[in-house]
Chain A
Amino acid sequence: MKSFDYIRPASIAEAIAAAAEPGTAYLAAGTNLLDLMKGGASRPDRLVDITRLPGLDGVDRLDDGAMRIGTMVRNADLAHDPAFARAYPVVAEALLSGASAQLRNAATVGGNLMQKTRCSYFADPAAACNRRSPGAGCDARQGENRSHAILGWSENCIATHPSDFCVPLAALGAVVEIAGPAGSREVALEDFHLLPDETPERETALERGELVTAIRLPPDAAGFAAHSRYMKLRERTSFAFALVSAAAFLKVEDGIITEARLALGGVAARPWRSKVAEELLKGAALERRTFAEAATAALAEARPSGDNAVKIELARRISIRALLLAAAGTPSRLPALPGSPLSSQYGDLANA
């Protein structure tokens, strides 16, 4: 393995200063970064370990009703925080649908946001990959691309962002809090992951040395708690990334949708929020036909990037399912198989 410097800063300011040099990566739990380093796809010169920085692991309700989650909060701790899960059941469900129990115990909020695509050519240093080395080409275009993007891709890169957690976050209008050499700033999560266009190597809105410090859910995000669901389609019942997924949120009054949110996962280089679909749903009744129209609208622009046309239809269907289940009401307890269609219509523990 390539030798690298390891730095353990005592403060956020020290961390940012240490990360100013090119070739630096922040190390959180390392569940993604270390795998890539071992495989040779990522070869940083120095790691700045942020796991012991003070003040980054809180889950706090702010005065305005917003919820701030520190970047070092572990995925499992967040999902199992009772107050958090009550207010944002779908975020908890999405988190618990991801990876394995061991990984969730380690993985951090910031690491989940910042995790790399699972495109296998990205992870294989012998493959040509524009995202890993700009201008090298994209082996996925002619390669195995069944799970690649159907929205927002470019000729230069057809990778998807694999996170489950980010899908409901995008729908709920979460904000990413960032600290950097030039001070602090905020970016809407929806805009945080960049579509590839001409520069697939630019994966997120972060500039060199910038650190994600927290994610904030706006005050109104908890208003969807009664009618929301996350649905994730995959061949293996657990411990698999989504082929496609959808997070659906409704506010319902007298059988009429007063506000809706819909975001898709596994379809693009960012969690894909569809405002068109949300508009269509607003003011509509809780009917399958409306959900189908909304889902179709959400995928109107979709086109296969390779051998993956089936994902378009699957994304449409998983959106309908998520909307139907959201309409039926959030289950009172987290399903035994979070995010799985196989437990969505069952009693909470059926099929466990």
Chain B
Amino acid sequence: MPDTLPFPPRMGSNAGQPLSRRDGPLKVTGAATFAADNHPEGMLYAVPATAAIARGRVTGMNVAAARAHPGVVEVYTPANRPPLMHDPDEKLGLFGMRMEALQNDSVRYAGQPIAFVVAETLEAATEGAALLAPEYAAEPARVTAETGERYTPERVGFGGPLSVGAGDIEAGLAAAAHRLETRFETPDQYHNAMEPHALVAQWDGDKLTLDTPNQAIVMACGLFAAYFGIPAENIHLRSPFLGGGFGSKAVPTGAQILTILAARELGRPVKLALTRQQMFGPVGHRARTWQTLRMGLDGAGKLTALHHHSTGATSSFDDFIEPAAAASRTLYASPAILTTHDGIRLDTGTPGAMRAPGEASGSAALEVAIDEAAEVCGMNPLAFRLANYAEVEPITGKPYSSKALRECYEAGAKAFGWASRPLAPRQMRDEAGMLTGWGMGTAVFHCPMFPASAEAVIRADGTAVIRTSGADMGQGAWTALAQIGAAALGLDPDQVEFESGHSHLPDAGVAGGSGHTASAGQALHNAGEDAVARLAELASTDPASPLYGTGNAGVLARRGRLYARDDESRSESYAEILARAGKPQVEGTGKGARDPASAETYALQAHGAVFAEVKVDPELGQMRVSRMIGAFAAGRIINPKLARSQYLGGMIWGLSFALHEEAIHDRRTGRIVNADFAGYHVPVNADVPEMEAIMIHEDDPHVNVLGVKGVGEIGITGSVGAVANAIWHATGFRPHRFPVRIEDVLPSLS
């Protein structure tokens, strides 16, 4: 693997290796316990009843019928829901969202929980919920751009600025040789992690145990605790395995709060497991956007102005606006760049972060627009992108901490065979007569870090245990983080026990924003180094040690031994050092966080280039991606096998965005008509014939100690545009709305 960097020598060598995921055998044999697999003694089942209207009030429910159903233990409605210590309509912290926990009889979207039935069996609770047969005073649903209320939000994403820019757009447009204005629409998408949201709650006095998949384990305890007026430490949240999260499993939702409440009131453990249909609404989604790009271009094909405006949909009662225009802030050089946002309120659940929030939708529009600009200039899309390559970050003028995008373009184009691409569309057919097109897109994702902490303990037998509350969503955190911890300790991963996935551990921060490996990894790295330093302290101050006098900076940790840096014949094993010191163990702690100085000085971004080939049936309009190659530069790669899976998964999601995914609302009732996997399409194997992810070496001394940028989300960006641009190249039809449908391309065919 040419794409892995050697770690500094004192860190051992396991990081950078393509280890298979440690939890793999448990998962494929079914031995891994997911939240809903827990069945504590005496457990009850909870089922939410959900609203069939999108706006209005519940005027009546047949609670008596539900209560009378055999097995039903309790029915909660706004009339009898016990009090909570925090108002569900008040936001909590930066990430908390307003939620429905039966605070009143209003209905704000279809699928909203309006009652909560608890029973001895799942079947009884389900039927109890059905027997409620609610009556409503309905108001017209507002689920289209035309009916929604347009407004100016205060922030976009999680506290991001509405508008960012530099230079004079109008002047740039006025001076341009070519001007282009182009509009896009992206659909509602739902996370649809394989594992539905589930929670098992058990109270013991004022102590609470929660089994629930969660991406931000310690933070979530604080949020849950606030609703029940208990200290966060009283909650033990266990989340050893997540069947995917994609951003939807970080913050509490109403049904989860009600489950915990019911467990307390009824004095018995209670389980909630949402059905696939129930996940369409109350647990977040990626909301629709309507985007406009205005571009000015000079005679040489350079941008003179780039204005990206995005209107994002949110709910009627809370704000999460996709920061879609942000995608244009950092990628292409232009003397004038402006990125702006506004919002539309719809009668839907509140959207939230979904894999590459902002960038996914924004890059879909930007990358198609860039191809349109290249077409206007008569340039090859790659040459156009290179002509507008940002050597420093456009708006801020900061240098990039590292940026191997040029190498990504080069390697991707070479592997794909881009050089032989005809400039004009509709030039290529395959041997079967299918229209064939090639398209590309640039991938970009920022590299956030979250505050994280960790512990490392070297034990008397020379093995170690490392601890942090990391979340393995299937991305392989347990493996990659253990590799980092083991490397810092100078041990093999199989000599290191990794405790993770529950809240009685140091806070690993959020597994989101592609920042988990960097954040929790840095904490583990520092904890390991700290433990080694303590060990070195013991050895170098002990006259009986061969390392006496080396000082703790003068040693190397490798394979369970400390070596004198300048004389490797002097060494001693961890076990020997501890035995002589008469200590059962040494403990180290470490933190991970962004260094403010580097954030101030450098633009921190991961990059990539995605190339796609699409085949289109010339009469029927059926489309299929036949080949996709991405080349990515995301700093140090801790585990190339896992990183590759992240890249491929991201690229497949991009393909899905381009061709498949869309939640469709009935425009009159506001209900989603395809709220299951039969109707909400994600790609299947037959849609993904040939994919490759190339890893481009990038050595980044500034982004963080480990040089890690993160790989979880970048694969989506660039990929949507690559597929859409390939459709154009095959057919001459330029997609402006996703997903692209057969009827969209049909008019451009024979």
A: which residues have CB within 8 A of B? Answer: 1-3, 35, 38-40, 100, 118, 120-121, 124, 126-127, 139, 142-144, 233-240, 243, 310, 313-314, 317-318, 320-321, 337, 340-342, 345-346, 350-352
Q: Is the CB of A139 within 8 A of B741?
A: no
Q: Mark B729-750, 1 if CB is under 8 A from A, else 0.
A: 0000000000101110010000
B679 is an interface residue with CB less than 8 A from chain A? yes
* Given A121-B673, A236-B684, A342-B624, 5 extra CB contacts under 8 A: A118-B679, A124-B673, A237-B686, A239-B684, A351-B689
Closest-CB distance, B17 to chain A (whole angstroms): 33
**Contact partners of A139 in chain B: CB under 8 A:** 666, 668-669
Q: Is the CB of B666 within 8 A of A235?
A: no
Q: Mark B608-635, 1 if CB is under 8 A from A, else 0.
A: 0000000101011111101000000000
7 contacting pairs across A/B (C-beta < 8 A):
A1-B123, A144-B664, A233-B742, A236-B660, A237-B624, A240-B681, A345-B434
Q: Is the CB of B743 within 8 A of A235?
A: no
**Contact partners of B188 in chain A: CB under 8 A:** none
- 6 closest cross-chain pairs (CB), A and B: A126-B52, A238-B686, A237-B686, A345-B432, A120-B673, A310-B743
B674 is an interface residue with CB less than 8 A from chain A? yes
Interface SS of B by simple majority: loop
Q: Mark B423-434, 1 if CB is under 8 A from A, else 0.
A: 000000001111
**Contact partners of A235 in chain B: CB under 8 A:** 622-623, 659-660, 681, 739, 741-742
Residues A144 and B666 in contact in the complex (CB < 8 Å), given A124-B671, A233-B620? yes
Q: Is the CB of B130 within 8 A of A321?
A: no
Q: Is the CB of B432 within 8 A of A350?
A: yes
**Contact partners of B678 in chain A: CB under 8 A:** 35, 118
Q: Please, which residue of chain B has its CB at the minimum distance from the CB of A350?
A: B432
Q: Please, which residue of chain B has its CB at the minimum distance from the CB of A100?
A: B684
Please report the C-alpha to C-alpha distance between residue A350 and residue B690 in the assembled complex, in whole angstroms. 12
**Contact partners of B743 in chain A: CB under 8 A:** 310
**Contact partners of B617 in chain A: CB under 8 A:** 341-342
**Contact partners of B432 in chain A: CB under 8 A:** 345-346, 350
Contact among B52, B431, B620 with A341 in the assembled complex (CB-CB below 8 Å)? B620
Closest-CB distance, A37 to chain B (whole angstroms): 10
B14 is an interface residue with CB less than 8 A from chain A? no
Residues A342 and B434 in contact in the complex (CB < 8 Å), given A235-B741, A237-B624, A238-B687? yes
Closest-CB distance, B209 to chain A (whole angstroms): 28
Q: Please, which residue of chain A has its CB at the minimum distance from the CB of B678?
A: A118
**Contact partners of A314 in chain B: CB under 8 A:** 620-621, 742, 746
Closest-CB distance, B136 to chain A (whole angstroms): 10
Residues A143 and B666 in contact in the complex (CB < 8 Å), given A118-B678, A342-B617? yes
Q: Is the CB of B673 within 8 A of A318?
A: no
**Contact partners of A313 in chain B: CB under 8 A:** 746
Please report the C-alpha to C-alpha distance between residue A235 and residue B743 in the assembled complex, in whole angstroms. 10
Size of chain B's interface in residues, with CB distance under 8 A?
46
**Contact partners of A126 in chain B: CB under 8 A:** 52, 669, 671
Q: Is the CB of B123 within 8 A of A310?
A: no
What's the count of A-B pairs with C-beta under 8 Å? 104
Which of B431, B434, B624, B660 is packed against the most chain A CB atoms within 10 Å? B624
Closest-CB distance, B676 to chain A (whole angstroms): 8
Please report the C-alpha to C-alpha distance between residue A318 and residue B621 in the assembled complex, in whole angstroms. 11
**Contact partners of A35 in chain B: CB under 8 A:** 678
B701 is an interface residue with CB less than 8 A from chain A? no
B277 is an interface residue with CB less than 8 A from chain A? yes
Q: Is the CB of A120 within 8 A of B679?
A: yes
Please report the C-alpha to C-alpha distance between residue A320 and residue B619 in the assembled complex, in whole angstroms. 10
Please report the C-alpha to C-alpha distance between residue A143 and residue B143 in the assembled complex, in whole angstroms. 13
Q: Is the CB of A120 within 8 A of B130?
A: no
Please report the C-alpha to C-alpha distance between residue A84 and residue B742 in the assembled complex, in whole angstroms. 34
Please report the C-alpha to C-alpha distance between residue A40 and residue B123 in the assembled complex, in whole angstroms. 12
Q: Is the CB of B130 within 8 A of A40?
A: yes
B: which residues have CB within 8 A of A? Answer: 52, 70, 122-123, 126-127, 130, 275, 277, 431-434, 615, 617, 619-624, 626, 659-660, 664, 666-669, 671, 673-674, 678-679, 681, 683-687, 689, 739, 741-743, 746
**Contact partners of B127 in chain A: CB under 8 A:** 1-3
Please report the C-alpha to C-alpha distance between residue A340 and residue B659 in the assembled complex, in whole angstroms. 17
Closest-CB distance, A35 to chain B (whole angstroms): 8
Q: Is the CB of B673 within 8 A of A342?
A: no
Closest-CB distance, B175 to chain A (whole angstroms): 43
Closest-CB distance, A343 to chain B (whole angstroms): 9
Closest-CB distance, A30 to chain B (whole angstroms): 15
Please report the C-alpha to C-alpha distance between residue A346 and residue B687 in the assembled complex, in whole angstroms. 17
Q: Is the CB of A238 within 8 A of B684?
A: yes
Q: Is the CB of A317 within 8 A of B619?
A: yes
Residues A142 and B669 in contact in the complex (CB < 8 Å), given A2-B127, A236-B681, A351-B689? no
Closest-CB distance, B723 to chain A (whole angstroms): 13
Please report the C-alpha to C-alpha distance between residue A118 and residue B624 in the assembled complex, in whole angstroms. 24
**Contact partners of B679 in chain A: CB under 8 A:** 118, 120
Q: Is the CB of B130 within 8 A of A233?
A: no
Closest-CB distance, B361 to chain A (whole angstroms): 20
Contact among A2, A238, A320, A342 with B615 in the assembled complex (CB-CB below 8 Å)? A342
**Contact partners of B52 in chain A: CB under 8 A:** 126
Q: Please, which residue of chain A has its CB at the minimum distance from the CB of B69?
A: A3
**Contact partners of B684 in chain A: CB under 8 A:** 100, 236-239
**Contact partners of A144 in chain B: CB under 8 A:** 664, 666, 673
Residues A127 and B681 in contact in the complex (CB < 8 Å), given A233-B620, A235-B741, A351-B626? no
**Contact partners of A236 in chain B: CB under 8 A:** 660, 681, 683-684, 686-687
Closest-CB distance, B263 to chain A (whole angstroms): 23
Q: Please, which residue of chain A has its CB at the minimum distance from the CB of B681?
A: A236
Q: Is the CB of B666 within 8 A of A342?
A: no
**Contact partners of B681 in chain A: CB under 8 A:** 235-236, 240
Q: Please, which residue of chain B has its CB at the minimum distance from the CB of A316?
A: B619
Closest-CB distance, B326 to chain A (whole angstroms): 30
Q: Please, which residue of chain A has its CB at the minimum distance from the CB of B53?
A: A126
**Contact partners of B621 in chain A: CB under 8 A:** 314
**Contact partners of A2 in chain B: CB under 8 A:** 127, 130
Please report the C-alpha to C-alpha distance between residue A350 and residue B434 in the assembled complex, in whole angstroms. 13
**Contact partners of B623 in chain A: CB under 8 A:** 235
Contact among A39, A121, A239, A346 with B277 in the assembled complex (CB-CB below 8 Å)? A39
Q: Is the CB of A243 within 8 A of B673?
A: no
Please report the C-alpha to C-alpha distance between residue A317 and residue B749 in the assembled complex, in whole angstroms. 12
**Contact partners of A3 in chain B: CB under 8 A:** 70, 123, 127
Closest-CB distance, A316 to chain B (whole angstroms): 10
Closest-CB distance, A111 to chain B (whole angstroms): 16
**Contact partners of B683 in chain A: CB under 8 A:** 236
**Contact partners of B687 in chain A: CB under 8 A:** 236-238
Q: Please, which residue of chain A has its CB at the minimum distance from the CB of B275?
A: A38
Q: Please, which residue of chain A has its CB at the minimum distance from the CB of B626?
A: A351
Please report the C-alpha to C-alpha distance between residue A144 and residue B665 in the assembled complex, in whole angstroms. 8
Q: Is the CB of A321 within 8 A of B742?
A: no
**Contact partners of A40 in chain B: CB under 8 A:** 130
Closest-CB distance, A206 to chain B (whole angstroms): 25
**Contact partners of B615 in chain A: CB under 8 A:** 342
**Contact partners of A124 in chain B: CB under 8 A:** 671, 673
Closest-CB distance, A149 to chain B (whole angstroms): 16
Which of B660, B686, B689 is packed against the most chain A CB atoms within 10 Å? B686
